[in-house]
Amino acid sequence: MPELIRMRVHIVAVLRTVMSSTAVVQDYTPNFQGWIDEFQEWQTRIGFDPSWLGDYRFEIKFDWDTAGENIEFGDFEGMPKWHRRMQIPQQSIRDAIISMISVQGDTEFASVEQQHHLLESAPTEYDRKSALRIMCEEQRHGWQMAYLLCTHFGEHGIREAMKLLERNSAGNPFRSDGEGERLLGSFNEPIDNWLDFFCFTHFIDRDGKFQLKMLSTSAFKPLAASMGPMLKEESFHLGTGANGLRRIVKAGVIPCAFLQKYINKWVSTGLDLFGVDNSSSAQWAYVYGVKGRFDERETDLDADREHLNEASRMLYYQELEDEMTRMNKARHEGEPEILIPSDKFNRGIGDFADSHYTIEGDAFDGSDAEWESYLASVLPSEQDIKQLSEYLKQDWIQYREWKD
């Protein structure tokens, strides 16, 4: 009897092996197709009308030329990049890649949840169509990440792809009670008005550019090859933000001192997106070769593996300062210069989290009550939000026509 059982177990095991390899092939399309069905439900659930897409089609795009042939950094440097899951040498590396793709995908869908309600209050047709284009492309990016998960990472990947559609940004006004929040802080912030929208696209989508570029040198080639087309599209998104803020400064209706408060609000959350200081997960991602530095291909310097997040954050910060220099040139006479607040101010993550620093970067010595009072003076208050709605009734942004 035990022999018969052993034989039966063996036969079942063989059958399972044969069936599972067949199932992978047979289930591939239905799996992604199943995800697509869920995606369409997600659009409706979050309040995004699919008819807004017009003739836009979600495409999977790769740029294999820029993805590189060999692993570019870390402990596997010089070896061929991995095209398939089974080429990845360790489960921990597979898990790290799944996690990165999932976080990236999560942000893409989150931003649509945060922004779609603004379409009906766009200041111009140009802005409405630009925002809609951004939302289409963000959904395409999420679609691309889901495709990678479903195609390359089996059951685990499919489960993670489904989760991308189950969470809902806390910043979405069309959110039901009990829905899980998005993974990162900035993507749960409400984007209540068009000034927030331009700040978000300028500061947070710019962080997105940094993340995409850091993944563009990944050892997992389908991930690296996904980044080129996404980066091309992302440059329009952050350009919309930078250009929108410049148009606001040029119009001169919203005073620069007022704008400064919104910039203070968004810069700190953008800096937080780079993660903790002395990050071991960033270090492991580098050791594995799956996520590089922002300037990985441009720099000759060896990586400081213990401070990878800090290095990327400083490059981001430098870029913000350079952009602000350009923006300040559009100021009306007598308007104060707009500053990028210190990287120590109002941080929720990293060495400066829960510490009190002013926007100039000086330690704040006052009591907690004084700190709250200080924050109220440098961040948008309830009164500022009311004041903003008054500004938004005027010609608050330089007119630009949509050209078709």
Provide the binding-site residues for another protein, judged by CB under 8 A.
63, 65-66, 216, 227-229, 231-232, 235, 238-239, 242-243, 246, 323, 398-401, 403-404
Q: Which is nearer to another protein, 20 or 235 (CB)?
A: 235
**Distance (Å, whole) CA 343 – CA 320:** 11
* Cβ–Cβ < 8 Å for 221, 67: yes
* Cβ–Cβ < 8 Å for 178, 169: no
Taking the complex as a whole, how short is the minimal distance between the CB of residue 136 and another protein, in angstroms? Answer: 17
Q: Which is nearer to another protein, 59 or 382 (CB)?
A: 59
- 222-258: buried (b, 16+ CB within 10 Å) or exposed (e) per residue? bbbbbbbbbbebbeebbebbbbbbbbbbebbbbebee
List of E strands, 178-239: none
Taking the complex as a whole, how short is the minimal distance between the CB of residue 232 and another protein, in angstroms? Answer: 5
Sequence letter at residue 247: R
Residues forming beta bridges with residue 357, ordered by sequence position: 363
CA–CA–CA angle 85, 87, 90 (5° rounding): 80
Q: Which is nearer to another protein, 246 or 344 (CB)?
A: 246
Q: Which is nearer to another protein, 157 or 208 (CB)?
A: 208
The Cα diameter of the chain in Å comes to: 95
Taking the complex as a whole, how short is the minimal distance between the CB of residue 403 and another protein, in angstroms? Answer: 4
Q: Which is nearer to another protein, 227 or 359 (CB)?
A: 227
Cα 374 from chain centroid (whole Å):
30
Cα 390 from chain centroid (whole Å):
31
Q: Which is nearer to another protein, 309 or 398 (CB)?
A: 398
Taking the complex as a whole, how short is the minimal distance between the CB of residue 202 and another protein, in angstroms? Answer: 10
Q: Which is nearer to another protein, 292 or 350 (CB)?
A: 292
Report the number of secondary-structure helices (H) and strands (E) in the chain. 12, 0
Residues forming beta bridges with residue 363, ordered by sequence position: 357
Q: Which is nearer to another protein, 302 or 401 (CB)?
A: 401
* Cβ–Cβ < 8 Å for 182, 107: yes
**Distance (Å, whole) CA 378 – CA 253:** 19
Taking the complex as a whole, how short is the minimal distance between the CB of residue 128 and another protein, in angstroms? Answer: 16
Q: Which is nearer to another protein, 263 or 359 (CB)?
A: 263
6-13's contacts with Cβ under 8 Å and 24+ in sequence apart are: none
DSSP 273: T
Taking the complex as a whole, how short is the minimal distance between the CB of residue 72 and another protein, in angstroms? Answer: 15
Which residue from 289, 293, 144, 136 is spatially nearest to 227, judged by alpha carbons? Answer: 144
Q: Which is nearer to another protein, 330 or 376 (CB)?
A: 330
Taking the complex as a whole, how short is the minimal distance between the CB of residue 145 and another protein, in angstroms? Answer: 17
69-73's contacts with Cβ under 8 Å and 24+ in sequence apart are: 71/219, 71/289, 72/217, 72/219, 72/289, 72/292, 72/296, 72/297, 73/217, 73/286, 73/289, 73/292, 73/293, 73/296, 73/303
Taking the complex as a whole, how short is the minimal distance between the CB of residue 400 and another protein, in angstroms? Answer: 6
Taking the complex as a whole, how short is the minimal distance between the CB of residue 231 and another protein, in angstroms? Answer: 4
* Cβ–Cβ < 8 Å for 215, 81: no
Taking the complex as a whole, how short is the minimal distance between the CB of residue 206 and another protein, in angstroms? Answer: 9
Q: Which is nearer to another protein, 172 or 216 (CB)?
A: 216
Which residue from 203, 195, 173 is spatially nearest to 269, judged by alpha carbons? Answer: 203
Taking the complex as a whole, how short is the minimal distance between the CB of residue 63 and another protein, in angstroms? Answer: 6
